[in-house]
Structure 1
Amino acid sequence: MAEFSDYIVYVDESGDLGLRNIDRGFPLFCLAMCVFPIQDYANTTVPAISALKFQHWGHDGVILHENEIRQRKGDFKGIIQNRENELQLIKDIHNIITEANFQIAASVINKAALIKKYSNPWSPYELAVHFCLERLHRLMIGKGQPGKTVHVVFESRGKKEDHELELAFRRIIAGNNSWGWEVSDFGTISYEPKFLPKKTNIAGLQVADLVARPLALKVMRPEQANRTYDVLNTKIHRVKQFP
């Protein structure tokens, strides 16, 4: 059995996968992998996120969700009704992200450009996973992880969807794709996908959720002010844009 890696990877997305009726206001699909040193994650990031929840809600059952924060829904409806509270919450979240030790490997797929360029385009999700895994692998090699098992944690999207993604994940790792470009050699490191539902309240998945949309917005509107991206900028290992 391979030794466990010193790193843990959490993955989330922004945007839908549909290639029909593409939203022209947000035609992108972004997948973000957040790579944490396990010791720092367990001893610093997780306690910091729990402390934030106790501070603002009095309990740690809240799940930080970018869409709900932005739309002022769910657990965020009451707290964000007060502008001062909203600004303080955003500031505290940004502080946690700033202090957290992690790196980002991401991919942004322009779906409108994809269907324009290819008559029979590949799945945006599989493309994004492929590109992110390539960049993750280079990062892990650089951090001395060959011979170890790296767990890559996704938010569950349903039994059928999880099964399909796991098959695609393992095809990519095995080099069994037919996309026509050079196949990466992932053989020196073992990558194991894990699928956990949102309700498990995993801190790393919540960080990945907060990261994905700001990355996509920076690609779509690079000149627009983007406070969260500014916080993330020093943590970005690579963002692959396609096509």
Structure 2
Amino acid sequence: MQNGEYIFYADESGDHSLVSVDAAYPLFVLTICGFRISEYTQGTVPNFQKFKFRYFGHDMTVLHEHEIRKQAGEFACLTDIVLRDRFQKDLTEIVGAARFDIFSCIIDKRVFRSDFFPDNPYQVALSICLQMIFKYLQKARKLGPSYHFVFEKRGEKEDRDLELEFRRIVDGQNPLRVPFDGFKLRFADKKSNSTGMQLADLTARPLGVAYLRPEQPNRAAEVIQSKLCKIKVAVNAQRGIHIPGRKKAKGPG
């Protein structure tokens, strides 16, 4: 099967466990970033490499949202507030300039848990995001070729469970009741220096924070919001399932 002209990278924010819910961040956020390969290779990747050379003198640094926010590891230099402000401003601008679409789902575990939903948050979010992407490609008349979906490795059991769920959804066990032919799953090592994986990581948590605290200034989320895919899929917002970019349903928080 011929390869398509898009590539998709996924990451998550928060955990999908319903056993214990973090009161400070009671969410599971799945984000899949879709890039047109020509734009990704000719614009996005070179621009991020230039950004890394500017700040680190090399392009081996992996941009990780948690470490940037905590000023940890290679980002300890960001304890300098002047440097941090300039770094954050430049990073926000380069993310804003990158051309890609975001397919995302937020699970509010405070509501989701109380409804005793039969599936776990990861399964629900994955199904919704893959439906959005299928309908996006269908609308663009780009169905037919193979499309690769790159997820970060999390562990042998977790990766096996994800692969089984991914296969189940693309084989036709989804609300659309159609197979998502050509959707292929790939795993990347946590240390993989993939620009697409780093962008997925950089977009997930800001969307979650914007959901939890919509009145709080959130420069990253403002840039990300413009890239959210507006493809509609059926969701039950009263059960704690939220698609960023839509009006937030009434509920906790």
Q: CA RMSD in A?
A: 1.6
How far the C-alpha of 1:131 sits from its partner, in A, is 0.6
CA–CA distance in structure 2, aligned partners of residues 159 and 58 of structure 1: 35
Q: 2:136 aligns with which of 121, 136, 139?
A: 139
Structure 1 counterpart of 2:78: 80
Counterpart mapping for 1:6-21 below 5 A: 6-21=5-20
Counterpart mapping for 1:1-243 below 5 A: 2-77=1-76, 79-118=77-116, 121-176=118-173, 182-187=175-180, 189-238=181-230, 242-243=240-241
Gaps spanning 5+ residues in structure 2: where?
242-253
How far the C-alpha of 1:186 sits from its partner, in A, is 3.3
> Any idea what SS the aligned residue of 1:222 has?
coil
Question: 2:147 touches 2:182 (CA, 8 Å); kept in 1?
Answer: yes
Letter in 2 for 1:192: K
**Please, what TM-score do these two structures have when normalized by structure 1?**
0.92
> Any idea what SS the aligned residue of 2:150 has?
strand
> Any idea what SS the aligned residue of 1:195 has?
strand
CA–CA distance in structure 2, aligned partners of residues 183 and 4 of structure 1: 23
1:183-215 per-residue CA deviation (whole Å, 9 max, x = no partner) reads 44234x410010001212100000000000011
Question: 2:6 touches 2:34 (CA, 8 Å); kept in 1?
Answer: yes
> Any idea what SS the aligned residue of 1:109 has?
strand
Question: 2:10 touches 2:197 (CA, 8 Å); kept in 1?
Answer: yes
> Any idea what SS the aligned residue of 1:230 has?
helix
How far the C-alpha of 1:83 sits from its partner, in A, is 1.0
> Any idea what SS the aligned residue of 1:9 has?
strand
Question: 1:65 touches 1:206 (CA, 8 Å); kept in 2?
Answer: yes
Between the aligned residues of both structures, percent identity stands at 37
CA–CA distance in structure 2, aligned partners of residues 134 and 107 of structure 1: 11
Question: 1:10 touches 1:205 (CA, 8 Å); kept in 2?
Answer: yes
How far the C-alpha of 1:60 sits from its partner, in A, is 1.1
Letter in 2 for 1:99: A
Question: 1:31 touches 1:212 (CA, 8 Å); kept in 2?
Answer: yes
Question: 1:29 touches 1:108 (CA, 8 Å); kept in 2?
Answer: yes
How far the C-alpha of 1:18 sits from its partner, in A, is 1.5
Matched positions, count: 235
Structure 1 stretches of 4+ with a deviation exceeding 2 A read: 238-243
Gaps spanning 5+ residues in structure 1: where?
none
> Which shows bigger deviation, 216-225 or 160-169?
216-225
CA–CA distance in structure 1, aligned partners of residues 29 and 118 of structure 2: 16
Question: 2:8 touches 2:33 (CA, 8 Å); kept in 1?
Answer: yes
1:86-145 per-residue CA deviation (whole Å, 9 max, x = no partner) reads 111111111111111101010000111111012x54111111100100111111112221
How far the C-alpha of 1:238 sits from its partner, in A, is 4.0
Distance 1:72 1:108, change over 3 A: same
Whichever structure has more strand as a proportion of its residues is: 1
Question: 2:131 touches 2:176 (CA, 8 Å); kept in 1?
Answer: no
